[in-house]
Amino acid sequence: MIAPIVVRPVNKHDITLLPDGIDQLTDFASLISMDLAGSYLTLDSGFYSKYNRRLIASHRMIPVIKPNRGSTKDEKKIAAMYENFNELIYKQRFTIERTFAWQDNYRKLAVSYERLEATRLGFKYLGYSLINLRVFIRNPK
């Protein structure tokens, strides 16, 4: 797990973090000379919107966001939603969800009521370092 982390209080929805998160991700990638052009960014159906897909595409990444059908019953609209959806790539999202599950092992990360953003960020880095350490110890190369 190597990436910049955007943190907000627990009462803020994740969707508000997306623009800052993508900006920080692309800045970090350029800092380590990594080209994200053509890479996939998978998100769950809570992020399904034209704005988010355009935002991701503007950073030269390919959005893979599960369509949110909502109350749509029109088969043509549903087919249009799934037209550019890559099911094979989205199925690999379980690794992201598994990482969130590992994060939830640390109560301080799962429920963060810290007032200072620096404190929340520090606990995230500590928890992610422990997750990485556990992975590296199990799989030494």
Structure tokens at 141: 């190369």
- Residue 131, in any domain of the structure: yes
* Strand runs labelled E in the chain: 40-43, 62-65
Say which range, 68-77, 108-117, 126-135, has the weakest mean pLDDT.
108-117
- Residue 4, in any domain of the structure: no
pTM of the predicted model over 0.75: no
- Residue 3, in any domain of the structure: no
58 confidence band (pLDDT: 50, 70, 90): very high
- Residue 2, in any domain of the structure: no
User: Which residues form the domain of 83?
Assistant: 14-138
Measured CA to CA, the distance from residue 55 to residue 42 in angstroms comes to 13
Please give the DSSP secondary-structure letter assigned to residue 47.
G
- Residue 6, in any domain of the structure: no
- Residue 43, in any domain of the structure: yes
- Residue 5, in any domain of the structure: no
- Residue 132, in any domain of the structure: yes
Total domains in the chain come to 1
